[in-house]
């Protein structure tokens, strides 16, 4: 990743605020392996925030991104690869956003960067393997990714149901919402009680032990990395019990991911988060019934790029996808067979394909039919 956190200790106002909030309320736990002498409570947090510069990308995702960039692949193919990995997402947002940048989603950020710059950034990233014997950040990156991806999956279901005001921003925040846990783990060798107890239990233990929690630390880290303010706010407040809108959706997605993994979840808290997010009890019950693994089941392909097809061309391709013949499509649309053939020919030309099979596959993949 490019530099962005370097010098955090030279910004006294925020550094002092973090240190003051991190004043220990009990004897701090032992630091991570490698610290030969005691470190100040807040100082260890700041060191851990700076160390996040070297957080690795999943090797498979990074390599896939490089291949797509080399092939000059369309944005629709690149977006899901970047959104599958925290380091790639952070790197892209930092590259796309200067001071006060407004790109808070991956599709928007991709429009604001040069492909060559993105390729150089990705090629320089440290990586980890899902089944490797990694050290340092790589040891915790796998477990972190499992919950992050599960939370994105739950968020996708909420997005598909039309609840999110800013879907791409919610996707980013869902992927990065627990980065504060990584900082606490780096600073103290642990961030709390793991997955023992409900999210509220774990949050309370963090606040009691360190005077702050992983959500607050994550918001500070997001700002230090130069991520958009609205993304940092979502991360910082994702455990707030009085938030609504997309923050409440992130709280709900996080809880659904924990529920789907079999972790303890407070049912009343889940219902309250759903209510604040505008999700009905019936809709919540359906989501819980589908979990685990069904948060995005049955949802339509995500539409990232605008379709080049006209309404009639889209209808012709969609009907063709169901196996209908030209004369059947003509009857369905109330037009002549020759007009249908013209629509299909124009659609093939716009999509850059040679036949109906390729047209159906591409239009389906792009979410246009």
Domains plus CATH for the chain?
A: 57-128 (no CATH), 311-365 (1.10.10.10)
Instruction: Tell me the whole-structure pTM to 2 decimals.
Output: 0.75
CA distances from 60 to 66, 175, 196, 226, 343 (A): 10, 17, 31, 26, 40
pLDDT at 291: 76
Per-residue pLDDT tens over the stretch 231-275: 999 999 999 988 999 999 999 999 999 988 888 888 888 899 999
Per-residue pLDDT tens over the stretch 49-104: 999 999 999 999 999 999 999 999 989 899 999 999 999 999 999 999 976 668 99
Residues with pLDDT less than 50, the chain: 1-13, 15-16, 19-20, 22-38, 295-298
pLDDT at 28: 38
Q: How far apart are the first and last CA of the chain?
A: 37
CA angle 15, 20, 26 (to 5 degrees): 135
Instruction: Tell me 32's DSSP state.
Output: -
Give the burial string for 264-282 (b: 16+ CB within 10 Å, else e).
ebeeebbeebbebbebeee
pLDDT at 206: 86
For 34, residues 6+ apart whose C-beta sits below 8 A from its C-beta are none
3-class SS of residue 127: strand
pLDDT at 35: 41
Q: Enter the tokens of residue 68.
A: 């797509």
pLDDT at 23: 42
Helix (DSSP H) and strand (DSSP E) numbers for the chain? 20, 2
* Contact in structure between 263 and 147 (CB atoms under 8 Å): no
* Contact in structure between 340 and 314 (CB atoms under 8 Å): no
Strand segments (E) across 219-368: none
Q: Enter the tokens of residue 306.
A: 């605008």
**CA-based nearest residue to 81, from 72, 69, 70:** 69
pLDDT at 6: 31
* Contact in structure between 109 and 96 (CB atoms under 8 Å): yes
pLDDT at 99: 66
pLDDT at 39: 55
Q: What is the Cα gyration radius of the chain?
A: 23
pLDDT at 209: 79
pLDDT at 59: 94
């Amino acid at each position: 990743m490019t530099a962005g956190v370097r010098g955090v200790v030279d910004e006294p106002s925020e550094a002092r605020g973090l240190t003051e909030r991190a004043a220990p309320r009990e004897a701090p736990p032992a630091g991570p392996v490698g610290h030969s002498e005691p470190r100040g409570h807040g100082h260890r947090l700041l060191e851990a925030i700076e160390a996040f510069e070297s957080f690795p990308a999943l090797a498979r995702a990074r390599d896939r991104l490089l291949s797509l960039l080399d092939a000059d692949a369309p944005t629709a193919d690149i977006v899901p690869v970047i959104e599958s990995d925290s380091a790639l997402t952070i790197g892209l947002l930092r590259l796309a956003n200067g001071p006060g940048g407004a790109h808070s989603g991956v599709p928007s950020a991709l429009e604001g960067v040069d492909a060559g710059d993105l390729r150089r950034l990705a090629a320089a990233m440290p990586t980890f393997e899902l089944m490797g014997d990694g050290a340092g950040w790589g040891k915790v990156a796998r477990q972190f990714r499992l919950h992050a991806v599960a939370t994105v999956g739950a968020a996708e279901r909420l997005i598909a149901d039309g609840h999110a005001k800013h879907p791409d921003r919610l996707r980013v925040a869902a992927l990065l919402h627990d980065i504060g846990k990584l900082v606490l783990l780096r600073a103290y060798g642990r961030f709390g009680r793991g997955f023992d107890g409900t999210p509220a239990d774990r949050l309370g233990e963090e606040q009691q032990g360190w005077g702050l929690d992983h959500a607050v630390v994550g918001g500070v880290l997001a700002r230090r990395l130069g991520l958009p303010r609205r993304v940092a706010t979502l991360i910082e407040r994702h455990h707030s019990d009085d938030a609504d809108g997309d923050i409440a959706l992130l709280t709900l997605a996080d809880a659904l991911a924990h529920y789907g993994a079999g972790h303890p979840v407070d049912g009343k808290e889940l219902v309250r988060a759903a209510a604040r997010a505008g999700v009905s009890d019936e809709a919540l019950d359906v989501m819980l019934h589908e979990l685990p693994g069904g948060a995005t089941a049955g949802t339509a392909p995500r539409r990232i790029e605008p379709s080049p097809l006209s309404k009639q061309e889209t209808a012709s391709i969609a009907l063709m996808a169901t196996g209908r013949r030209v004369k059947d499509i003509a009857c369905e649309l109330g037009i002549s067979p020759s007009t249908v053939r013209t629509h299909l020919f124009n659609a093939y030309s716009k999509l850059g394909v040679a036949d109906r099979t390729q047209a159906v596959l591409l239009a389906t993949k792009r979410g246009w039919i």
